[in-house]
Chain A
Amino acid sequence: MNGGQDLGGTHGHGPVKPEANEPVFHAEWEKRAFALTLAMGMPGGWNIDMSRFARENRPPAEYLSMSYYQIWFAALEHMIKERGLVSEDEINSGHSLHAPKPVKRILSPGDVEKTLHRGGPTERDTNTAAVFKPGDKVRAKNINPLTHTRLPRYVRGHTGIIERVIGCHVFPDSNATGAGEDPQWLYTVRFDGRELWGADGDATVKVSIDAWEPYLEPA
């Protein structure tokens, strides 16, 4: 979606402000919101692409004025309500008011370390051959889906070079909607700064994205 999250090349956000000796979390609630989000992935049954969509799918003005963990928390609320795991009256009362829905698994303390260590690899076996090879000239397609995509607006319609064939990976555009993993070949595609930004670009800059095959066409 062309939402508030797709920030590459947008103006007016001001300077980057690094914080000296920054703590990992800035408030107790941030820790809990972070941990709840990770832990609920198991009983909630959503995938990473669904959770990214739940975060970005809100009015841009709202997205840009919320802090990072406020966005995470809002997305968590949305996903658990959508799945009927919790209802608004329960959050308002601060207690469970309805019988819990059966869930497959929950994250037990004994499983935390191995679950984090395992992570969620996205590379998949495939019988198909990659269409592009390193050095090929490609154009990022001009797509504008209302649903989740990982093709940022600032490269759409622009021409780049395939730098690396990464492998066959879960396709977020499909995975985010619940339509399945639909693994696709993934490439690192390199663009010249001037190709992306015209005369306002820096000729010494090159930018790459990682792009799935359906995002690309020969150029």
Chain B
Amino acid sequence: MSGHDHDHHDHDHSELSATQLRVRALETVLTEKGYVDPAALDLLIETYEKKVGPRNGARVVAKAWADPAFRTRLLKDATPAIAEIGYAGRQGEHIVVLENTPKLHNMVVCTLCSCYPWPVLGLPPVWYKSAPYRSRAVADPRGVLADFGVTLPKDTEIRIWDSTAEIRYLVLPMRPKGTEGWSEEKLADLVTRDSMIGTGLPKQPADIAK
């Protein structure tokens, strides 16, 4: 699928405005027919723009780093463990957490569409849904990681999880060194979205001290 390049030509602009008009027309028709309530649409948008996003997942990861009992529950059965913090539901009905170790790096993809753990990461970024990522993640993950500026040791095992069913995967990255005694809130600042997909690594303490 085509991405969202920011060098749209006039041609793309007219296509986009045609889509825009058609979406607006359809919303009007569906509203007039009583099939949708625009206030419900606003709430759906607000939920995924403002409330549900990678900050949720970062809290889960930070808690797992700080609380060994929670980490055990999370790795054993992630869905109820994550629900303890209040995150659950659509596109996160069956969550599995994958623990990175010095020898194993996990990375998540959906080659067939765009499956992604919404309650903990929000809606997926464009690149996650794009043909370049979906095609190469399973065949050339080191090449994909290089696109993200990430190089792993040559002998690290890379494990790709293709989300072909309704199981949604969240990567538990390794806790950065030099964070002993940090609060969960401070730890969460180190957790990036990409580190929970497996295309990135968490920030280091020096990165947030700047």
Contact = CB atoms under 8 A, between A and B. Distances in A.
B141 A39 contact: no
A145 interface: no
Interface in A101-130: 103, 106-109, 111-113, 115-123
B20 A112 contact: no
B56 to A, nearest CB: 13
Interface stretch (B64-72, B87-95, B173-181, B183-191): B87-95
Nearest to A9: B139
Interface string B119-133: 000110111011111
B208 interface: no
- Interface secondary structure of B, over-half rule: mixed
B206 interface: no
Chief secondary structure at chain A's binding surface: mixed
B209 interface: no
Contacts of B25: 91-94
A26 B91 CA distance: 21
Contacts of A186: 165, 167
B35 A40 contact: yes
Given A7-B135, A100-B33, A208 B23 contact: no
Contact of A13 (B32, B136, B164): B136
B85 interface: no
Given A16-B136, A18-B127, A116-B47, A28 B20 contact: yes
A43 to B, nearest CB: 5
B159 A16 contact: no
Contact of A204 (B39, B154, B165): B154
Contacts of A165: none
Interface string A64-99: 111110110100110010000110001111111000
